[in-house]
A and B are shown apart, each in its own frame.
Chain A
């Protein structure tokens, strides 16, 4: 199959089953360089699995993933090399609990990228400044708020110099008053031209920065389109129902 040159990420016919349960069924889409796409859908519907299939933390049963024109599902690809180009941010932050904020960001630079320690410290500090946490460099994860931890985890992913950032419900574990600071960092990132794929229920965020929304249910892409179309006039009844349910829970769309 020919590869669209402008696609940073191209997902082709991903299938994934857990036993008899079909988690992902024939998922295909692409994200162009500099684009932000948001995946929405009911919980337990395979969104996290999909993100993990992209950086191969989970191996899809079939299908291909192309990053910047390279088939990373090909067994020849060095997956540890590939993963450096795909930043991932988790719902539960997953900071290394025995390391300070600075060391969390620095570890990958030193151990994976084999960067000189002093250079790595400077780079890690630059990333902490980028997420506004330079004064927390010496703090351990347990000493940080959830929002601060998530910003450190974004800095940790950015330090590796990724071409693509995956966000797996980055604000779902946060208290409401801490969500804004994380979304703010993500918004800056999107505006700086980063290619992003975000699983989130923050529809306001989706509306304000994303180029396209993908609605997934029961492992299948039900509908995808621009926020205007999906929020304004969704083609499918299920999309409509899901969006109105989310609105009930999180307040009116776009008001965040």
Chain B
């Protein structure tokens, strides 16, 4: 069977997996986004216990392998009465892990917001909370886009690890199909291409977003 006709034949199965991969990516990056902002703000502006807690979270999730975190969530929790589906465990694991990295990107972006602007905002009577909402976060989102794009791409690729806990994503579909037809080389090559296309499309979209929201004079100092 030629490579092309093989690709054609296995494509429906792989695309089904690709959809799950995208779902995993979107859900976990979103979870990581929200939690990441909370962690970054908590680390920078929280009182001491909050700051220590956020820092501890970040260090733990950055300092241990994603795969170990996934296995703990999927296999480690049921004895304690928490039974997660492989899909939910995958989202949680990837999301909680990504939150730690996103928090650090956000923290870097927040710290590059000028102290003078923050003082000026306080001087016109803004509370700390208003300063965060109206000055710090709007600038943070714009500054963080380039490094955040990397995190999105990592999350998309690392979502393949979820096949270890049986989530029916792209990698798992590839393994499943290859185990049936023994065409490991061709099947994984197609899998790799699908990841590549997804990565290219996502970075293009983010580039557009970055251009769209760009403001003269506002970007991360390189």
CA distance A140 to B114 in the complex (A): 16
On whether the beta carbons of A107 and B123 are closer than 8 Å, the reply is no
Total interface residues in chain B, CB < 8 Å: 22
B32, chain A: closest CB distance, angstroms: 24
Contact B114 A112 (CB under 8 A): no
Q: Is the CB of B123 within 8 A of A57?
A: yes
What B residues does A83 contact at CB under 8 A? 122-125
Q: Are A96 and B215 in contact (CB under 8 A)?
A: no
CA of A153 to CA of B123, assembled, Å: 12
- Inter-subunit contact B114/A88 (CB<8 Å): no
Please give, as numbers and ranges, the residues of chain B lying within 8 Å of A73 by CB-CB distance: none
Q: Does A142 contact B (CB under 8 A)?
A: yes
Q: How many Å from the CB of B213 to the closest CB on chain A?
A: 9
Contact check, B116 vs A90: say whether CB atoms are below 8 A apart. yes
A26 to B131, alpha carbons, bound, how many Å?
A: 32
Stretch binding the partner chain, chosen from B56-64, B70-78, B134-142, B145-153 = B134-142
B214, chain A: closest CB distance, angstroms: 10
Is there a chain B Cβ closer than 8 Å to A84's Cβ? yes
Given the contacts A98-B138, A112-B130, A142-B217, A153 and B125 also touching, CB distance less than 8 Å: no
User: Is the C-beta of A36 less than 8 angstroms from some C-beta in chain B?
Assistant: no
Given A57-B119, A94-B120, A95-B117; A84-B217 close (CB under 8 Å): no
B216 surroundings in chain A (CB, below 8 A): 140, 142-143
A236 contacts partner chain B, Cβ-Cβ < 8 Å: no
Interface residues on A, range: 20 to 34
User: Complex Cα distance A111/B134, Å?
Assistant: 8
User: Are A108's CB and B138's CB within 8 A?
Assistant: no
Name the contact of A97 in the complex, choosing from B127, B130, B134, B218 (C-beta under 8 A). Answer: B218
Please, how many angstroms separate the alpha-carbon atoms of A108 and B119 in the complex? Answer: 13
B126 in the interface, Cβ–Cβ < 8 Å? yes
Bound-state CA distance A193–B121 (Å) is 25
CB contacts under 8 Å to B, within A87-145, are 87-88, 90, 92, 94-98, 107-108, 111-112, 140-143
Residues in A with CB closer than 8 Å to B117 are 94-97
Contact between B215 and A140 (Cβ–Cβ < 8 Å)? Answer: yes
Instruction: Report whether A94 and B114 are in contact in the complex, using a CB–CB cutoff of 8 Å.
Output: yes
Instruction: Indicate whether A81 reaches chain B with its CB closer than 8 angstroms.
Output: yes
Q: Write out the residue numbers on chain A whose beta carbons fall within 8 Å of the beta carbon of B218.
A: 97-98, 140, 142
Interface residues as binary, B93-136 with A (CB distance below 8 Å gives 1, 0 otherwise) = 00000000000000000000010110111111111001000110
> In this complex, which of B116, B124, B216 has the most chain A Cβ atoms within 10 angstroms of its Cβ?
B124
Min C-beta distance of B119 to chain A, whole Å: 6
A142: chain B residues at CB < 8 Å are 215-218
A80: CB under 8 A from chain B?
Answer: yes
Nearest-Cβ distance from residue B218 to partner chain A, whole angstroms:
5
Contact (Cβ within 8 A) A98 B125 = no
Q: Are B124 and A97 in touch, CB under 8 angstroms? A: no
For the complex, give the distance between the alpha carbons of A96 and B115 in Å: 11
Contact A97 B120 (CB under 8 A): no
A150-174 Cβ-contact flags toward B at 8 Å (1 or 0): 0001001100100000000000000
Whether A55 is near chain B, meaning CB under 8 Å from some CB there, is yes
> B66 to nearest A CB, angstroms?
34
Q: Establish whether residues B217 and A143, one from each chain, have CB atoms under 8 Å apart when the complex forms.
A: yes
3 nearest A-B pairs in the assembled complex, by CB-CB distance: A142-B217, A94-B120, A94-B116
B residues neighboring A (CB under 8 Å): 114, 116-117, 119-127, 130, 134-135, 138-139, 142, 215-218
Given contacts A96-B117, A97-B139, 10 further A-B contacts (CB under 8 A): A55-B123, A83-B123, A90-B116, A90-B120, A94-B114, A96-B135, A98-B142, A108-B124, A111-B126, A141-B217
